[in-house]
Amino acid sequence: MNWNRRDFLKNTSGAAIAAMAAGIPVTKWLTDSNVRNSKATADTVILLWMAGGMAHTDTFDPKKYTPFSKGMQANSVLSTFKSVPTILDGINFSEGLESIGKIMDKGTLIRSYVAADMGHILHSRHQYHWHTCYQPPQSVAAPHLGSWIAKELGPLNPVIPAFIDIGQRFTLGEGEELKAFHTAGFLGNEYGPFLIPDPSSGLDSVRPPVGMSASRFEKRNQLYQDLISQSPVGEYGSDYQKESLKRSMEQAYILLNSPEAKAFDLSQEPKESYDIYNTGKFGLGCLMAKRLTEQGARFISVTTEYEPFKGWDTHDNGHTRLADMKKQIDGPVAQLIKDLEQSGRLDRTLVILASEFSRDMMVEGRPDLKVQEQVAQPDIIQDIKNYGMHRHFTDGGSMLMFGGGIKKGNVYGKTADERPCKTIEKPIMIDQVHQSIYHALGIAEDTNYLIEKRPFYTTPDGLGKHATGLFV
């Protein structure tokens, strides 16, 4: 079935109301997952989200380079950047990612991520699937990966929110669809994300507006609680959901008055360090992630931000825009890994860099299951705007993982060197990605809760298994 944006919103909104009414039991289903595995190799997760579809052949898995020239054959283009060496013998990255290439001895390069086949490709649907491990729509609101972690492990520091999301605004195109997975679903509001749309003004997220006294803020907080009681949660939610929302507000209030709130103030960072990270919102988000990790954050997501036809969403001018995106991520990502290692935190911090799917100039979907093409690609390229990876490709993709028990200097999986540049060795699906993260954190594979009298697992049907080749 082909789902459009209206179908997506209608069904996820219904699931949210259903989840509120259902609530959640105090205890899990009878499994061995009530106690964290003592063999956990990580305590914190940082997800670096390349929103919009990062082309593997123009980033971490380059193929034959064909420079731009007017009149060139479109199907002759596999990569639009030169290959550059990394610190790993025989492993190259695409030009513009030299800094990340120099720290790959500290982590694993995955070259075989395969995204799901869900018919007509929508970014918001594939992002929902990546972050929740469930294909929309669902009869209940599926929790975000970060919410599962927040629920199962709780905060490392009771003052710092267990799940923090940095860099995504919801006032843009597809904002409502993005909200559908930025939620704890049936787990309750207290496990949802603490949202920081712009890290440069992150301190504003944890203090009253300018000119508002503490007493006035307390009165406004009480008014807000009164309004919540009249909201859909207050009217239709279960007792669990109401209590969860109350606890989430109380936690925010505690943070406001804590010394740890300074972690959100990037002006506290030494200028030398700040300048390295200051490549834009994403770079500063990486800096905030570093600071929050130092204060005991549990799960942090930093995104390049999804906005249709911008960033990694390269439906035109793919080569030109990727050159800019690499400038935004290369230095900050490398510096984050180096800083975590220098502080001694990398060993217990799992860092993941990922995207919802990849791109190819000629293929939409995957070779044996093509879907409706969304971008016209001329057979002969006359304009630079048509030089780049424009179409959504789901049969191959790249990810990076560092720290938290992940092998160092490791390459996992392989894609073909000729079009279609699909996965040909060790394919890894989203359920394996999630279970690998849970495995590092010591969360059991069969973790679940009873919702509508049925067990709802961290991965569909509780069948997901971690990828053993990723770990030491």
pLDDT digits (tens, 9 = 90+) for 301-344: 999 999 999 999 999 999 999 999 999 999 999 999 999 999 99
pLDDT given at position 375:
83
Rounded to two decimals, the pTM is 0.87
Tell which wins on pLDDT, 392 or 25. 392
Q: At residue 359, does pLDDT exceed 60?
A: yes
What's the mean pLDDT in 39-54? 97
Residue 399 three-state SS: strand
Say how far apart CA 160 and CA 154 lie, in whole Å. Answer: 10
pLDDT for the residue 240: 54
* Lowest-confidence pick of 351-355, 366-370, 382-386: 366-370
Quick one: tokens of 52? Answer: 């919009």
Q: Which amino acid is at 449?
A: Y
Predicted confidence at residue 189, as pLDDT, reads 84
Which residues, other chains included, contact 118 with Cβ-Cβ below 8 Å and sequence gap of 6+?
3, 125, 126, 129, 135
The second-level CATH assignment, the architecture, of 5-199+261-470 is 3-Layer(aba) Sandwich (3.40)
Q: Is the pLDDT of residue 21 over 50?
A: no
Q: How confident is the model at residue 373 (pLDDT cuts 50, 70, 90)?
A: confident
Q: Residue 348 and residue 333: Cα distance in Å, rounded?
A: 17
Three-state DSSP class for residue 250:
helix
The mean pLDDT of 275-291, rounded to a whole number, is: 98
Residue 33 pLDDT > 60: no
Residue-wise burial string across 57-82, b where 16 or more C-beta atoms lie within 10 A, e elsewhere: bbbbbbbebeeeeeebeeeebbbbbe
Q: Mean pLDDT across the stretch 178-188? A: 91
Strands (E), 124-208: 163-166, 194-196
Average pLDDT, the chain: 87
> In whole angstroms, how large is the CA radius of gyration of the chain?
22
Residue 175 pLDDT: 86
Which one is predicted more confidently, 375 or 3?
Answer: 375
pLDDT at 17: 45
Which range has the worst mean pLDDT, 37-41, 113-117, 158-162, 194-198? 37-41
The predicted structure's pLDDT at residue 298: 97
Under the banding of pLDDT at 50, 70 and 90, the label for residue 1 is very low
Contact indicator for 300, 289 with CB cutoff of 8 Å: yes
Above 70 in pLDDT, residue 218? no
Residues linked to residue 400 through DSSP beta bridges, in sequence order: 109, 353
Best mean pLDDT range from 1-15, 272-286, 449-463:
272-286
Show me where the domains of the chain are located.
Answer: 5-199+261-470
Which H or E run contains 45?
strand 44-49
* Confidence grade of residue 206 (pLDDT, cut at 50, 70, 90): low
The confidence band for 211, taking pLDDT boundaries of 50, 70 and 90, is low
Token pair of 64 as six digits: 């034959």
Q: Locate tokens 């299951």: which residue?
A: 369
122 phi/psi in degrees, rounded to 5: -120, 130
How far apart (Å, rounded) are the C-alpha atoms in residues 355 and 90? 24
Nearest to 14 by CA among 3, 26, 22, 4: 22
**CB 268, CB 199: distance < 8 Å:** no
Per mean pLDDT, which range of 34-38, 280-284, 460-464 is the poorest? 34-38
Lowest model confidence (mean pLDDT) among 254-263, 396-405, 448-457:
254-263
CB distance 420 to 360 below 8 Å = yes
Q: Which residues make beta-bridge pairs with 357?
A: none
Residue 322, φ and ψ in degrees, nearest 5: -65, -35
